[in-house]
Amino acid sequence: MHTPDPSLNLEQDPRYVAGVTGRESPESGVVVSFNPATGDPIAGVKLDSADSYEQTVAEAQEAFKRWRAVPAPVRGEVVRNIALEMRRLLVPLGELESMEVGKIRAEGIGEVQETIDIADYAVGLSRMVGGKTVPSERPLHRMMEQWLPLGVIGCITAFNFPNAVWGWNAMIAAICGNVTIWKPSLLAPLTAIATNNIADRVATEMGHPGIFRLVIGTDDEVGERMIADKRLPLISATGSCAMGRHVGQVVAGRLGRCLLELGGNNAVIVDKDADLDLAVKSTVFGSVGTAGQRCTTSRRLIAHKSIVDEMTQRMVKAYQTIKIGDPLAEGTLVGPVIGERTVEAYQNAIEQAKAQGAEVLVGGSVAKPDGLGGTFVEPTIIRAPASNDLPIAMDETFAPILYVFTFEDIEDAIAMQNSVDQGLSSAIFAGNVNTTERFLAVDGSGSDCGLAYVNLGTSGAEIGGAFGGEKDTGGGREAGSDSWKAYMRRQTCTINYGSELRLAQGIRFE
């Protein structure tokens, strides 16, 4: 069980076992977190068992009974203080993330900022999550909706956003009156412990212990139990499409609620009249940021035939100047990928692309910058054959590979953009309003994604909008807009304040 920990001092925490090798071992009951830049173990973390999971859920149910009785704006006050504490610890927490998952310092800190942003948003929301009054067809009757806390929420997160995705869920869930049980990726347990401890410590100090819970366990021991657990009315899960398909089926089997945020295969369309400076800068960030390991990473560039050569040459030039290396060092733009399996997937995708007639324009190899022993790969641009036929580009390879396609007619570009199974993020760079509006067409015939950008890249969403996507991306929406509704249950209330029985639909029963 992960008891509240008032300290961020890793060495003093008895849960860390020094000198353990191997990633996760149910036998020893330990998972080891590695620094992907050096390949060195940082610390071992004790795994939760089926028993400790049970205990966590039982305690969470008790905490829920207390927490739901707290008025929503008072819950907001707790979240406000969590945001203040996250601000105070912004840099060390961001740096811990850099060390554990390899994202560069600016992106590690930026991710914690994203949690602060959603917490601020949730504070405002804590005074707004109300329902509406609906006109009743009957005299002396009132109909209204109210939104009620849902219960204990299960939140499963991936390694690549080990802080903010929890924030999107837990901060909103908290103001809605829920308790969150978080199962983080076993590749990022330290960031999860630090993050959850901050929230739990602040809430506990304010008299509300047990609102933010953590279970760190294997999929078999904890994950499967969690998704099948009827006591968790909502499972919010972020990860691969394969994982989401399994979670979705298990949760649907018990008629629970799912919020899925799964893979993306995001394209950038660049039209003939686009501002190429802007398109190049945005697409470089979109494709190599977080070493290509965002669900919103730009994976396909679909460029008009009149500018495709210039666009790709400029991209290649930019890629040649990108500094790969220690994610915590000044000037590094690309850190390591998370581990060997990603390196293998990267190499395999490049081999397949070549076999399918594509050409590697830049990158394509494993890198060993600054003598570091970690898992680094070169950001890669691959030009599809003139036929645009490149089956490997239909897959999401979670690594910095950008495939380039060519179009003549914007209709073909949109069809190409929509031709993949996933539907998370999409972008267009164009100078003509007719083209950009075509991409956003209100009849739904434009981009089929949950996120659509004009003259911006595919990654880097703000928290104020709803985040998520369609098709194999899973259909869930998190963060802003009305995503809070997923964390509450709606009750339609009808009140007769007269003294006669009046039946709806004019039915007489006398």
The CB-of-376 to ligand UN1 minimum distance in angstroms stands at 20
In terms of Cα–Cα distance, which of 91, 304, 81, 48 is closest to 181?
48
Q: Does 295 bind ligand UN1 (CB under 6 A)?
A: yes
Q: From 5-13, 124-132, 289-297, 427-435, give the range in contact with ligand UN1 by CB under 6 A.
A: 289-297
Q: Which residue has the tokens 């022993």?
A: 373
Q: Which helix (H) or strand (E) holds 425?
A: strand 425-429
Is 221 tagged catalytic? no
Residue selected from 147, 161, 182, 403 as contacting ligand UN1 according to rule CB under 6 A: 161
Nearest to ligand UN1 of 429, 453 (CB atom): 453
Number of chain residues interacting with ligand UN1 (CB under 6 A)? 11
Shortest distance in whole angstroms from residue 118 CB to ligand UN1: 10
Q: 24 by DSSP, 3-state: which?
A: strand
Would you count residue 477 as binding ligand UN1 (CB under 6 A)? no
Residue 241 a catalytic site member: no
By C-beta, is 260 or 461 nearer to ligand UN1? 461
- Is residue 410 within 8 A of residue 274, CB to CB? The reply is no
Q: Do 259 and 235 contact (CB within 8 A), yes or no?
A: yes
Q: Which residue has the tokens 């912004």?
A: 90
Q: Which of 179, 175, 161, 176 is nearest to 63 (CA)?
A: 179
Q: Is 188 in the site for ligand UN1 (CB under 6 A)?
A: no
338 near ligand UN1, judged by CB under 6 A: no
Task: Check 258, 295, 396, 449 and give the catalytic one.
Answer: 295
Q: Which is nearer to ligand UN1, 78 or 235 (CB)?
A: 235
Q: How many CB atoms lie within 10 A of CB 291?
A: 31
- How many other C-beta atoms are found inside a 10 Å radius of the C-beta of residue 58? 12
Task: Tell me: does residue 397 bind ligand UN1 (CB under 6 A).
Answer: no
Distance CA 105, CA 37 (A): 13
Q: Does 343 bind ligand UN1 (CB under 6 A)?
A: no
Using the rule CB under 6 A, is 461 a contact of ligand UN1?
yes
Q: Does 103 bind ligand UN1 (CB under 6 A)?
A: no
Choose, from 97, 111, 114, 261, the residue flagged as catalytic.
Answer: 261
Considering Cα of 20, then 22, then 26, then 27, what sign does the dihedral take? negative
Q: Which is nearer to ligand UN1, 64 or 166 (CB)?
A: 166
Q: Is 459 in the site for ligand UN1 (CB under 6 A)?
A: yes
Note the Cα 37 to chain centre separation in Å: 22
Does the protein bind ligand UN1 through residue 294 (CB under 6 A)? yes
Rounded distance, CA 262 to CA 240, Å? 5
Of 128, 102, 83, the residue nearest 39 (C-alpha): 102
CA 288/CA 462 separation, integer angstroms:
19
Exactly one of 460, 465, 470, 502 binds ligand UN1 (CB under 6 A); which one? 460
Tokens of 106: 């600016």
- Binds ligand UN1 (CB under 6 A): choice among 33, 98, 126, 160: 160
- Positions in 200-259 near ligand UN1 (CB under 6 A): 238
| CB 178 within 8 Å of CB 34 | no
Q: Which is nearer to ligand UN1, 369 or 480 (CB)?
A: 480
| Residue whose CB is nearest to ligand UN1 in the complex, by number | 461
Contacts with ligand UN1 by CB under 6 A lie at 114, 160-161, 165, 238, 294-296, 459-461
Residues serving a catalytic function are 261, 295
